[in-house]
Amino acid sequence: MPKMPEAQEAFWHTRYTFEPYFVAGRGFDQYAPAYLLGWQAGREQGDSQQGSPSFESQENELRARWLQAHGSSLLDWAQVKAAVKAAFRRTVALQKLEEQLKPLGDTAKMGLALVLQAGQSFAESSSSFLRTAESSMANDALRRFSHDSHKLVAELEGLVDGNSLQKAIAAEEHSGLLVRLRRVWADYLGAAATETLSGVLQRLQTWLDRTERIAQQALPSDVIKLLKHHVLVLRGHVEALQWLSRGPA
């Protein structure tokens, strides 16, 4: 059977403890085979050309498949059904977006890739900063959003192919070189490079600015809907973090 892409596995690894079906004490290894099954079923449904995908129409078959290939998971079907369904629906939705994005020109693809790059840059810088940051209202708020931001990045990864991302990185060769040099220096020192809250907020602002720009382009309606949701989330956190970092007047 095909293996789930690393980006999809990383998405669920980040999100599974926040899902409504998660039970405290259960590790990711107990849910991972369920996400794999849901992803496989979603891909198969998308390739079958049999009309609108339906999880319910396949539930009996998926239950049987779970009994035969549940991997290292000790959970029964009732305990993983919701996880399989979540992965199935996400996979089908991403495939639909992929089909809509195929006709897009290079400009639109590059724009989406630059948004993804900005999101990844924020995720990297915020993680670096929070490793040594002391507790404060601004830092605690950033820590909560930094964790949730991985979902936004994962959704963007579903829209961007590898070639577009590589072109976007090449288009910002200078800043990319600085990032690589900083990593080398950090490795040499044996510690993460120093980040500041203002630097992290600047990267978050860049992410918001790029998302607002691409959301104004002629893109498929589902993509525009997703990007506008990202704009609302990012704008809210930019304003909140900027206020918290300054402190009340």
Does residue 170 have a pLDDT over 60?
no
Q: Closest Cα partner for 143 from 105, 191, 197? A: 197
Cα 168 to the chain's mean position, in Å? 18
Pick the CATH number of 103-246 from 1.10.3720.10, 1.10.10.10, 1.20.1260.10, 3.60.70.12: 1.20.1260.10
Could you tell me the pLDDT band of residue 82, with boundaries at 50, 70 and 90?
A: very high
Average pLDDT over residues 210-235: 91
For residue 186, the model assigns a pLDDT of 47
For residue 177, the model assigns a pLDDT of 46
Q: Which of residues 171 and 88 earns the better pLDDT score?
A: 88
* Angle, helices 59-68/28-48, rounded to nearest 10 degrees: 130
Tell me the pTM: 0.61
Does residue 171 have a pLDDT over 80?
no
Average pLDDT over residues 67-82: 93
Q: Which residue bears the tokens 């991403």?
A: 94
Instruction: Give DSSP secondary structure letters for 107-134.
Output: HHHHHHHHHHHHHHHHHHHHHHHHTTPP
Average pLDDT over residues 117-125: 88
Q: Where are the domains of the chain?
A: 6-100, 103-246
Report the distance separating Cα 33 and Cα 105, nearest Å: 37
SS3 call for 55: coil
Q: Which of residues 5 and 87 earns the better pLDDT score?
A: 87
Sign of CA dihedral 231, 43, 103, 109: positive
Q: Which of residues 45 and 137 earns the better pLDDT score?
A: 137
Evaluate whether 121 touches 201 at the Cβ level (below 8 Å). no
For residue 69, the model assigns a pLDDT of 86
- At 39, which helix (H) or strand (E)? helix 28-48
Does residue 113 have a pLDDT over 80?
yes
For residue 189, the model assigns a pLDDT of 45
Sign of CA dihedral 223, 102, 203, 18: positive
Average pLDDT over residues 2-30: 88
**What 8-state DSSP symbol labels residue 51?**
S
Could you tell me the pLDDT band of residue 109, with boundaries at 50, 70 and 90?
A: confident
Average pLDDT, the chain: 82
For residue 161, the model assigns a pLDDT of 60
Q: Enumerate residues 6+ apart whose C-beta is below 8 A from 177.
A: none
Q: Which of residues 201 and 248 earns the better pLDDT score?
A: 201
